[in-house]
Amino acid sequence: MSKKIRIALAVIILAVSISLLIWGYSPNPREMRIREIYPTEMQLPTPSSLHFDLEPAA
């Protein structure tokens, strides 16, 4: 490879690397989602509902 091609390739790789570095450090867009949580959704299940009646397979 000639010296000019190697320098051009190095400049292209450097430009891509710097652009990816800047893109990686740029802040993410802020997003806010508001969801109502009702008190009935915050209750833990009762212990009796956690036991399953397993039957033998045959």
- The pLDDT assigned to 58 comes to 64
The pLDDT of residue 14: 98
Amino acid at 9: L
pTM: 0.48
Cα dist from 27 to 4, 22, 30, 56, whole Å: 37, 10, 9, 56
What is the rounded distance in angstroms from the CA atom of residue 13 to the CA atom of residue 16?
Answer: 5
Helix (H, G, I), strand (E, B) or coil at 13: helix
Calpha distance 36→52 (Å, rounded): 31
Q: What is the pLDDT of residue 1?
A: 73
Report the chain (58 residues): mean pLDDT per 10 consecutive residues.
93 97 90 87 71 70
pLDDT at 18: 97
CA angle 44, 37, 45 (to 5 degrees): 10
